[in-house]
Amino acid sequence: MDVFVAALDIITRWDVILALLIGSVGGVMIGAIPGVGPAVAIAILLPATFGMDPVVGLTLLLGIYGSSLYGGAIPAILVNTPGTAVNALTTYDGYPMTQAGQAPRALGLAFGASFVGGMFSVACLVLMAPVLAKVAPMFGSREIFLAALLGCVMVVVAHRGQALAAGALLFFGIFIHTIGMEANRYTMRFTFDQPWLTQGIDLIVVVLGLFAVSQAFVLLTGPEGGGKVPKLEGSVARSFLEVFRHKRVAAAGSASGTVMGIIPGVGEFVSQFLSYTYARSSSKTPEKFGKGAPEGLVASESANNSVPPAAMVPLLALGIPGEELTAMMLTVFYVHNVIPGPALFQNNMEFVIAIYLSLALLNILALIFLLGATRPLLGVLAIPNRFLGMVILTLSFVGIYSLRNSAIDCMVAGAFGVLGVMLKRLNLPTVPIILGIVLGGIMEEKFRTSLPRIRSLWNWIDRPVAQIIFALICLVVLLHLWALWREWKGRRHGSGQH
């Protein structure tokens, strides 16, 4: 109880509430603009929070992180363009509902499902906090090394059909992490005698390049778009409660998002896919899915919005990010001198609870804002794409240049921007690069600190938690190989019949 009161003390500070308010409202607006998204916004704003109080800076970015998916549903439903990539599934049933003249109903359902998903996930986290506090100290260097390795394996196998490209990009990320002066023996690695490479390549520069600069380039070289503001007739607030008519689907979607969010490297797409598939297969009218089924909308929105809070579990408990946004949040924590990991749960539980409460609060703030201000918010859809690209490029400069006032950082970010354009246009994932940099760093450090206790290979897994993680790694790899074998067999069978 004392911990809870201390957490309340933290989040009831006026500056923290203001940061949450700006973050959640800003996050909704950013999510509603197709082509921006939370990754771009967090990457750009990150350096601006360096000078803020740690809790204020964190809650501001947390607000954007947690509320952008709400806003992303608006263009997905009204103009068939997802505001953020993870709102893509929302277009399947949301847009047909708009075409059928049910736009306010679709929006109300989407906001309701997002709210249920977000709050369900936060409730699970709060209930799990005491368990996590007991489990987290069982993670030593070896366990964290294995958990990071599990994250690497998951990020590769989660990209079905692109596992090879994801693997190559993951190892590229690990390689980027190794560039510069190595911290243990102070020897140089792949610096090619260039002084600017001695400090290595900053994660924030790579993030800004891959997410912000590349998105600016994609928008600047793409079609103009934007300009049309759809009309919205009817009340969104009235349809919000309709989500409770689809309790089973909303609960399944929220549970799917929470579980998938906790597993590093999986994220929103898989959780939505599972949730949507379940909703369709258990529906009395599966033929309506993809043609404006409210259950489909509820399944996708409840699943995607329950991921962000759940993704905070491996981040806070082990210091292991599961996707690009939590990787960025990890940087935010480091910058603000908060080191996520088992010690955080042991020594700073009130901070963890404060983060959970902030996540709950931002869901409430985002919902209130949306129920009252969806109509004026539609104005952001009028911003032309190329103009938006220009704005993002201008903002990217602030983010990169303010780090070290280095033109070289800008050139590096520019190069990663071009790489990001290639990857985005080819539909290849950018997440493995970011996770490779972060998880590579964690693995190298934990590997080194584990070595004094390692006499044989068995020592890596001679403790129960390590054995469980190792078994999970083996299981994931075997399941993936089995799925590949079945696919290959199916294709062979198909071509034989043909």
Nearest in space to 250 (alpha carbons), one of 197, 297, 199: 297
488 touches other proteins (CB under 8 A): no
Q: What is the CA radius of gyration of the chain?
A: 22
CB 333 within 8 A of CB 312: no
Q: Provide, rounded to whole angstroms, the least separation between the CB of residue 138 and other proteins.
A: 24
With CB under 8 A as the contact rule, which of the stretches 20-28, 209-217, 343-351, 358-366 interacts with other proteins? 209-217
Site track for other proteins across 246-275, x = CB under 8 A: -----------------------xx-xx--
Q: Provide, rounded to whole angstroms, the least separation between the CB of residue 303 and other proteins.
A: 11
Nearer to other proteins, 120 or 217 (CB): 217
Query: What's the DSSP call for residue 188?
Result: E
Q: Provide, rounded to whole angstroms, the least separation between the CB of residue 92 and other proteins.
A: 7
235 touches other proteins (CB under 8 A): no
Nearest in space to 115 (alpha carbons), one of 373, 367, 371: 367
- State both tokens at 125: 């986290």
Q: Provide, rounded to whole angstroms, the least separation between the CB of residue 286 and other proteins.
A: 12
CA–CA gap between residue 204 and residue 330 (Å, rounded): 11
CA–CA gap between residue 370 and residue 236 (Å, rounded): 9
CB 329 within 8 A of CB 61: yes
**3-state secondary structure (DSSP) of residue 33:** coil
Query: Which residues between 428 and 447 bind other proteins (CB under 8 A)?
Result: 428, 436, 440, 443-444, 447
Site track for other proteins across 327-356, x = CB under 8 A: ------------------------------
What's the maximum distance between 2 C-alpha atoms anywhere in the chain? 70
298 touches other proteins (CB under 8 A): no
456 touches other proteins (CB under 8 A): no
Among 2, 131, 185, 281, binds other proteins (CB under 8 A): 185
Q: Provide, rounded to whole angstroms, the least separation between the CB of residue 214 and other proteins.
A: 8
Among 128, 235, 290, 348, binds other proteins (CB under 8 A): 290
CB 114 within 8 A of CB 70: yes
Among 6, 17, 21, 48, binds other proteins (CB under 8 A): 48
**Which amino acid would we find at residue 486?**
R
- State both tokens at 119: 């709050």
195 touches other proteins (CB under 8 A): no
CA–CA gap between residue 359 and residue 193 (Å, rounded): 46
451 touches other proteins (CB under 8 A): yes
384 touches other proteins (CB under 8 A): yes
Nearest in space to 369 (alpha carbons), one of 57, 42, 31: 31
Query: Which residues between 86 and 125 bind other proteins (CB under 8 A)?
Result: 88-89, 91-92
With CB under 8 A as the contact rule, which of the stretches 43-51, 233-241, 252-260, 354-362 interacts with other proteins? 43-51
Among 18, 138, 182, 479, binds other proteins (CB under 8 A): 182
C-alpha distances out from residue 239 to 106, 242, 251, 444, Å: 8, 5, 18, 51
CB 152 within 8 A of CB 435: yes
Nearer to other proteins, 128 or 428 (CB): 428
Query: Which residues between 148 and 177 bind other proteins (CB under 8 A)?
Result: 158, 160-162, 164-165, 167-168, 170-172, 174-175, 177
Among 10, 283, 350, 397, binds other proteins (CB under 8 A): 397
Instruction: Report the C-alpha dihedral over residues 384, 389, 391, 392, rounded to 10 degrees.
Output: 140
